Amino acid sequence: MSKDKEEKKEPTAGERLFDRAAAFVREKFHDELDPVYLFHNWAYANAIAEEVGKLAEKTEEVENDKIPYLKIAGLFYPVGYVRQRKNPQEASVTILQEFFDYQKPVRPDEVGRDSSADGENPADQGQATTELTEISDWIVAAADRPEEGPIEAQLLYDAANSWLGRKRYERRGELLRLERQALKGGKEIDPVVFGRELEEQMLKFDYLTDAGKKKYEGRRRKNVSSIHEDMFKLEQKVIKQKSGKNYGRGIDTMYRTAFRNHINLSRIADGKANMMISINTIILSIIIAVSGAGLGFFEELFFSNPLMLLPIITLLLSSLTAVIFAVFSARPKVTEYRIKKRKLIKSDEASLLYFGNFLKLEKQDFVGYMSNIKHDLDGLYDDLSRDLYDLGQVLHRKYLLLTISYNTFVGGLALSVLSFLIVYMINLF
């Protein structure tokens, strides 16, 4: 094995500077970056540096000794987000200046001394100034699509947007959406709207360098097609949710069964009320008819044995009371809410699917409401729930009155028979 192969290649000054820059930028992001920046962080900066280095290696116009400085520009390109969200590249240039100043710290005992006396080469200082200026110019130019700018700025621009032409663009795009959402105070960003914006950005985007086009353009086109298909599916899913097609038959069956049960219970209550009305009206008719036909008999009975009128009067009053409550139970009642007409459509109390409520509206207002409710699944089911609740309230009142009617009838009938037996036994003994 030759001696040249055994010896390790010494890193250049640019490579050593890049290593120090990477440590500096990583520390900046770690110590100063707000956690809400899920996209613009150290991972993004490191990815830019790697990609711009690869692009520069495939670009003949870029000299090899400039590649490390171009990678430094990639590191510092997004670091400005640690200080400001707007125009972050301006802050990036400021932080870059701080980094270069940090490379040559001055000790307190060296203040006022000539740097050349310590062996510092003024040419090195001039070289550092040139590097700082070049890197700063690349960063600023790359922020504004440098079509006519230096090739280094164009490479940096392509590297900063390389994620649009890579397989993991969906993950990066979701991180960008969550970052923007967090910066807006947690306000939800519609994935469909954001996806369409990202699709438009990818559709109009064009890489500036030949190396960038060769590496990312083909994948970018596939990503445009993929995100278009994904957004179409997501939009269809949203439409299904709003139209109700996505809920399945379970919810519809639940409401249909609940309404059917309540309607059947209402029909049963009306049937029982009619039966109670029929029985008691027959009893009342017989008592009144007999009383009218045999008025002399009742007068003689009253004077000879007045206690015998007690069961008759008890049965008469109980039957009358039972009839009254049965009629109240079967009587139609329109449920109404005391809500102003102009607020009825937006009200969360009344269901406009019930005629007692929507008759307060004008015809056009009701038609417009029905047109809107067809596209608002949540509003439709809320109205059905309110309507079901109101129907339950009506049934509760109906069965309460019917219970009183039955209890009165049974109690009055039993009391009449008991009082008749008591009077009969008294007269017998």
Per residue in 366-396, pLDDT (tens digit) is 777 777 777 777 778 888 888 888 888 889 9
pLDDT digits (tens, 9 = 90+) for 396-407: 999 999 999 999
Flag the least confident range among 137-141, 186-190, 274-278, 340-344. Answer: 340-344
Q: How far apart are CA 70 and CA 141, in angstroms?
A: 13
Domain boundary residue, one of 243, 267, 287? 243
Does residue 236 share a domain with residue 92?
yes
**Within a domain: residue 113?**
no
Mean pLDDT computed over 209-229:
91
Distance CA 256, CA 153 (A): 66
pLDDT tens-digit readout, 129-169: 788 899 999 999 999 888 888 999 999 999 999 999 988 88
Whether 11 and 151 share a structural domain: yes
At 185, the amino acid letter reads G
Residue 199 lies in a domain: yes
Burial of 8 (0-12, 13-18, 19+ CB in 10 A): exposed
Distance CA 231, CA 233 (A): 5
- Spatial neighbors of 376 by CB under 8 A, at least 6 apart, are 242
Q: Which residues contact 92 (CB under 8 A, 6 or more apart)?
A: 76, 77, 78, 79, 80, 139
Q: In whole angstroms, how far apart are CA 313 and each of 153, 303, 418?
A: 109, 16, 13
As a whole number of angstroms, the distance between CA 392 and CA 404 comes to 18
Residue 112 included in any domain? no
pLDDT at 47: 95
Check residue 287 and give its pLDDT.
80
Integer-rounded Cα Rg, in Å, for the chain is 45
Are 221 and 266 in a shared domain?
Answer: no
For residues 394 and 335, the answer to whether their CB atoms sit within 8 Å is: yes
Q: What is the reported pLDDT for 185?
A: 85
Is residue 349 in a domain? yes
Yes or no: say if 121 and 72 are a contact pair by the CB < 8 Å rule.
no
In a domain, 299, yes or no: yes
The residue out of 208, 243, 278 marking a domain boundary is 243
CA distance 303 to 306: 6
The residues, any chain, with a CB within 8 Å of residue 166's CB and separated by 6 or more, are 172, 216, 219
Q: Based on the domain organization, do 159 and 31 belong to the same domain?
A: yes
- Residue pair 407/306 in contact (Cβ under 8 Å)? The answer is no
Q: Which long-range contacts (C-beta less than 8 Å, at least 24 apart) are formed by 283-292?
A: 283/315, 283/319, 284/316, 284/319, 284/320, 284/323, 287/312, 287/315, 287/316, 287/319
Whether this model's pTM surpasses 0.85: no
Please report whether residue 54 resides in a domain: yes
Say if 114 falls within a structural domain. no
Domain C-terminal end among 183, 214, 243: 243
Is the same domain home to 326 and 291? yes
- Tokens representing residue 241 in the block: 């949710």
Residues 224 and 286 reside in one and the same domain: no
Structure token pair of residue 165: 């032409």
Domain assignment of residue 56, given as a range: 3-106+119-243
Same domain? For 371 and 253 the reply is yes
Among residues 84, 208, 202, the alpha carbon closest in space to that of 141 is found at 208
The answer on 156 and 303 residing in a single domain is no
Mark whether 309 and 379 lie in a shared domain: yes
Output the pLDDT for position 114.
43
Question: Is residue 330 domain-shared with residue 375, that is, in the same domain?
Answer: yes
Question: Is residue 154 a contact partner of residue 167, using CB atoms and an 8 Å limit?
Answer: no
Whether residue 264 is contained in a domain is answered as: yes
89-120: pLDDT as tens digits: 999 999 999 999 877 543 334 334 444 444 44
Domain count of the fold of the chain: 2
- Token code pair at residue 223: 């990503």
The answer for residues whose C-beta is within 8 angstroms of residue 255's C-beta and 6 or more apart is 381, 384, 388
Q: Are 32 and 82 in contact (CB under 8 A)?
A: yes
Residue whose structure tokens are 């699509």: 145
156 and 286 in a single domain? The answer is no
Q: Are residues 339 and 424 in the same domain?
A: yes
